[in-house]
Structure 1
Amino acid sequence: MTQNVKISEIVATRTIAEIIADYPVVQDFFINYNLQELQQNLTVAHALEKMMPEQLAEFGLDSFSLTAELAKFMATLVDNQEEREKVQTITIIGGRNKEGQPEDVKLTMTAGEVVSIVGPTGSGKSRLLADIECLAQGDTPTKRQILINEHLLSDEERFDIGNKLVAQLSQNMNFVMDLNVADFLAMHAKSRLCENADQVVERCFVCANELAGEKFTLDTKVTQLSGGQSRALMIADTAYMSASPIVLIDEIENAGIDRKQAISLLTENEKIVLISTHDPLLALSADKRIVIKNGGIHKVMETSAEEIESLSDIEKLDALMLEIRQQLRRGERVRPLKISCS
């Protein structure tokens, strides 16, 4: 039985309420056709029989064609989800730096891997993130190519809104909808067809509060969240709801959140994470780091055993700096420092 036949059987045999329970975003399909008043205890065909033909004619449809459109819509949702699950690797093929010199690079990253991007301010770190975000095919200033599962992408694959392969968390995150946190997460869970949506919303909320320095509630308006709280909310959302297998993060150290926990959370959910950073702790915690110089990829470095060993001392220094920040936030005097790095 093909997927399309299976979806057609669901549309033909299940009630509207049952379909919406399994595919919540289908409710938006009916709203788009002004059919939100359909009797949900009936199948689609039976519910449409009770309508005036003029209501469907308004959209140039009849009962048969609208049922077919619904089946096509649902099949697209399912196909997109299956396609996302197949993404296993992303590969960067080097282009040219600001002086036109070639980047002799072919770097492949796999699910669960973290790669840091380091270099001076203005060196081109954000340009690399932009190339990955748009899945460049030699059509950006750097002429880089991005492969998915070792193959080039068509324009249709690159710009498919319903099957977005890359999620980006930028330094500045601003919400434009005046929803509270609960409604915002519920909307995302619905649009992404999350199973057990209420549990997923609760998990995202708890996780975001663990990451954020200052707690917030489900009733808090998303427009009232601080920069750190917004970043924490979107990291949790990306980890638990987003099907995008590739996550780009720009300078998470400036967000005021538990950055190591954030990265760990994303990789546990089998994301490929690339993070632009000036933070030694994040840079050395990655599996590899890309060094950017003069607008190009200068080199790719594996994290060495000695660097991994030095992380314990770096973590002690980081914890010390965190304690100083907390003392200042609480309005306390900074206590004498005790540094005991080996």
Structure 2
Amino acid sequence: MAQNVKIREIVKDKTIAEIITNYPVVQDFFLNYNLQDLQKNLTVSQALEKILTEQLEEFGLDVFSLTEELVKFMATLVNNREEREKVQNITIIGGRNKQGEAENVTLTMAVGEVISIVGPTGSGKSRLLGDIECLAQCDTPTRRQILINDHPLSDEERFDMGNKMVAQLSQNMNFVMDLNVAEFLAMHAKSRLCENSEQVIKQCFVCANELAGEKFTMDTKVTQLSGGQSRALMIADAAYMSSSPIVLIDEIENAGIDRKQAISLLTENEKIVLISTHDPLLALSADKRIVIKNGGIHKIMETSDEEIESLKDIEKLDTIMLGIRQQLRHGERVYPLKFVL
């Protein structure tokens, strides 16, 4: 109720232009009522007084009732954002593999946890990510069910575009908009109602450049970003702008970015991270790993103390391989290796 009072004051006192600046999706509200040509330099009530009464009567509304509909619409946006921040865990209830055999597993993941998904190519890792992305309720080929905070979800909750709980970063991140990085981040900051948007935009940009192998500028067109730069930008976006509490990543090791830093960044920002990977370093750095076989969840393993100890040697090998990649990228010769683990 207090939220509605605050929104009502905004609608009463601010011009339409000021409202759209902070709540860009309000443009869609006016478009739905064929009111996209309202004078933006006026308040909502002032602008509505200048249009023909018939335009509102067509929808069975008057100035007061349309204003109330706008207040409800904006309050829903804000309330949805607050609800997303309350997600504390996600649970996967097993379904069936390709042979129709029951998975017989239940896995609950909490905020700040990283879960790796491993298995041969074609085993079904992407299918599991797909089930989580659509918050499956026993209605996909695997018959898995996904719970949020220990509860199943209604279709309204699953498919509400304003309340998207899952962000997915696929292997191929291709932009189609002719925007530069600054414009792209500004658009996302506005649509996600970010507070201190200028600071968040700068934070995302700096972070993306730290993750990416090759630097880019605010003026760089997003269509000109490399695959690694695109993934770095979207990971920073997911960490600092997106309120989606669940982040799915498909084979981050192929992106050419600092993968350990990327995962650490997401968990520090209270995300639940699931990552499909063939990378031993990422698989063993996770809190648990899901092993996929024949299209089903074969087993769930917790990272053992011995595996954590082995990570030290794996990290040494990874550093060596990174050095060789850098030598090749800069046209240098690679000579016989001499090292001791």
**If the TM-score is normalised by the length of the shorter chain, which range does it land in?**
over 0.9
Structure 1 residue 105 and structure 2 residue 108: aligned?
no
Aligned equivalent of 2:87: 87
Is this contact kept in 2: 1:27–1:36, CA < 8 A? no
Aligned equivalent of 1:273: 273
Name the CA shift for 1:137/1:28 in 2 (closer, same or farther; >3 Å). closer
Aligned equivalent of 2:65: 65
Paired residue type of 1:227: G
Deviation for aligned residue 1:98: 1.0
What secondary structure is seen at the aligned counterpart in 1 of 2:300? strand
Aligned equivalent of 1:307: 307
TM-score by length of 1: 0.93
Q: Render the CA deviation track for 1:98-141: whole Å, top value 9, x for unaligned.
A: 11111110100000100000011111111111111111111111
Aligned with 2:39 (options 19, 37, 40)? 37
Paired residue type of 1:266: L
Aligned equivalent of 2:163: 163
Measured in 2, the distance between the counterparts of 1:183 and 1:81 equals 23
Aligned equivalent of 1:53: 52
Size of the alignment, in residue pairs? 338
- Structure 1: unaligned runs, 5 residues or longer: none
Aligned equivalent of 1:96: 96
Measured in 1, the distance between the counterparts of 2:57 and 2:233 equals 41
Measured in 2, the distance between the counterparts of 1:292 and 1:69 equals 48
Q: Report matched runs for 1:220-235 at 5 Å.
A: 220-235=220-235
Aligned equivalent of 1:117: 117
Is this contact kept in 2: 1:38–1:48, CA < 8 A? no
Is this contact kept in 2: 1:56–1:62, CA < 8 A? no
Q: Render the CA deviation track for 1:130-170: whole Å, top value 9, x for unaligned.
A: 11111111111111110000011111111111101111000
Q: Report matched runs for 1:321-340 at 5 Å.
A: 321-340=321-340
Measured in 2, the distance between the counterparts of 1:25 and 1:139 equals 31
What secondary structure is seen at the aligned counterpart in 1 of 2:325? helix
Measured in 2, the distance between the counterparts of 1:221 and 1:266 equals 25
Root-mean-square deviation (Å): 2.0
Name the CA shift for 1:110/1:13 in 2 (closer, same or farther; >3 Å). same
What secondary structure is seen at the aligned counterpart in 1 of 2:99? coil
Q: Render the CA deviation track for 1:207-247: whole Å, top value 9, x for unaligned.
A: 11111111111111111111111111110111111111000
Name the CA shift for 1:334/1:270 in 2 (closer, same or farther; >3 Å). same
Deviation for aligned residue 1:337: 1.6
Is this contact kept in 2: 1:25–1:193, CA < 8 A? no
Measured in 2, the distance between the counterparts of 1:127 and 1:38 equals 46
Is this contact kept in 1: 2:117–2:291, CA < 8 A? yes
Measured in 1, the distance between the counterparts of 2:317 and 2:338 equals 10
Is this contact kept in 1: 2:165–2:244, CA < 8 A? yes
Name the CA shift for 1:28/1:197 in 2 (closer, same or farther; >3 Å). farther
Name the CA shift for 1:55/1:38 in 2 (closer, same or farther; >3 Å). farther
Paired residue type of 2:181: V
What secondary structure is seen at the aligned counterpart in 1 of 2:117? strand
Measured in 2, the distance between the counterparts of 1:305 and 1:228 equals 32
- Structure 2: unaligned runs, 5 residues or longer: none
Is this contact kept in 2: 1:114–1:274, CA < 8 A? yes
Measured in 2, the distance between the counterparts of 1:272 and 1:185 equals 23
What secondary structure is seen at the aligned counterpart in 1 of 2:80? helix
Residue range with higher mean Cα deviation, 237-246 or 19-28: 19-28
Deviation for aligned residue 1:284: 0.5
Residue range with higher mean Cα deviation, 275-284 or 16-25: 16-25
Measured in 2, the distance between the counterparts of 1:133 and 1:25 equals 23
What secondary structure is seen at the aligned counterpart in 2 of 1:115? strand
Runs of 4+ in 1 over 6 A off after TM superposition: none
TM-score by length of 2: 0.93
Is this contact kept in 2: 1:53–1:62, CA < 8 A? no
Measured in 1, the distance between the counterparts of 2:305 and 2:138 equals 36
Name the CA shift for 1:36/1:310 in 2 (closer, same or farther; >3 Å). farther
Deviation for aligned residue 1:23: 3.6
Q: Report matched runs for 1:149-160 at 5 Å.
A: 149-160=149-160
What secondary structure is seen at the aligned counterpart in 2 of 1:283? helix
Measured in 1, the distance between the counterparts of 2:90 and 2:23 equals 30
